[in-house]
Structure 1
């Protein structure tokens, strides 16, 4: 699942980000019609955004093997929570009652209007998270389905998740389900068990310091040596957190930080990496977006009218789940910029373990760098903020 559609996407993520199947298959191209008038300006905007997303995933080689352009998808537009029209991208059969969009409206996509299936699709959505789902069948073929509205297409706030970025993110989970090996020690916590995740003041301090160090990424001008230096800081902080994990009973790999937290960095971090890198190029309003959007030391204060942490549950959900989207995507981006082949992560390798092997720091180097970070003027601020957040009722 995704970031901040924060009002929507984390809620959705709590229900539907697991066990996805790869949706890619062979599309059927209906007979090409002349000009059509089937899509509104809003519909066409979404289609253009999706086409650009497909082109970017391929041209920028964001993830080798992720063939988003070939994925069969069914998008349903809602108004006042009711379906009004729907479009199939990459139809897998000659669908009865489907009408192919002309070149004037399709914008380079193989797309048909299909309203006969939209009620059933909406029923499937309502049975789940009410926004997106997998394996919806049309003519016996499976499609990724997603609802969209004006607010998820005509983006006015860079912190709102767009329909196209949600789609490329969630479809990537389907790709993961088919192509990623499950890490040996991976164990995602059930959502009602987040309160068992270790959130001592020192661990939260380290997590906040890490966020502070990573919050400027992606930064396109970064050099390979600079990316390696930033990656070293990521590695030594996570390494220290693993040493302090009170849930690790027989080595750090038995603790929840390694089993759950770093697993989320791999699976959710890689999906956020894809959608954020695309979003920065598809929309001007999101061109400066970073993987970490919060001010780490001010999360109990209003930021653009929104206070991320107001209750104890907010604190637990954020530091036991949400934060790994941001640190994971940042680490994966740094790995790529440092020269590491992120395709290797599909072998069930956590970003932390990839950094460990790639950097090969000595124990002395690790100790010295951690000491330097704790002498940084930001470290006391991280400790103060951690105590404040943990004191929230």
Structure 2
């Protein structure tokens, strides 16, 4: 296994790090102030568009996309450290046009969209002119089992008519959000993994209604937002289908693999920043006659944090390397491992950092409370921990059963 970054990737990473230091970190306070001062809570703070123009001029744009004509042309492995760097700031992914769910939606359109679909939606997304949302999770079923999804997509002549209710539709609150990728059921009688289909639904289509924003531990995440949406007799052309009817699960697997790596590397970046903040606090405050960090409990926590970050980063880079070397399917166990490990690791370290800051850690005077909410939510996003553990355990049992000469299917029954 070789996880050494290419010369091209190292150049991008060096320039990205400098850009973050010179432009992004100093702009975080400006962003917060503009957001507080805005008459509309869901308006985009002007500093974002200013930074986007600078990032694009610097050639730090669409870094996640492996297509050299449309993006940076980097592999998942080469992009992974850049996702870590952008994960350190809540505004950075948007600045570089690498934010979720847009990056995953752009990859989906790039991989599976028709030329007409790419012209209509991929191009403006790549240019940063619009945003998008991914509508999969539903409030009325256990969406951790995606076969439960009930949103109905019924063919009617040259159209599909869609009826259903979705929530945790991240990004749908953004005033720039113009397109949804919706997953629903087209054929309940088909084999279980070919019942689902993905279709493109413009956000302004009649029958689409945003019911409310869903807060994350009290955060509205405006102007991004996580919305509950109803689709009532929503009619879109059959040409809006992605890849083909009944191929929703196939698309989901292609979409979620790289996205999980991106999420996990951003988690590592967030953990690194939390550790830096924690160390600064512990060395600058005194309690009981000495710096707080000199009390043994904090030495243990700091040491454990460094070990956990390094282990998690290596696991994530291994998963990214395997995706390039043997493909997403062969790397599914490693992807499951990192999805289990990274958010849990980051949540622990951020929690320790909150403890180090005391009351300030629970306030908005530091980014720690928001970071904690985001990382805790990632233990549910892109599949809850339990689903990934189930998949990983089944792989282990399969290997063991082959060694023992046991038919695992008979045990499952």
Q: TM-score range by the shorter chain?
A: under 0.3
Tell me which protein shows more strand as a share of its residues: 2
TM-score, normalisation: structure 1:
0.25
TM-score, normalisation: structure 2:
0.24
Work out which structure has the larger RCO, using CA pairs closer than 8 Å and 6 or more positions apart in sequence.
1
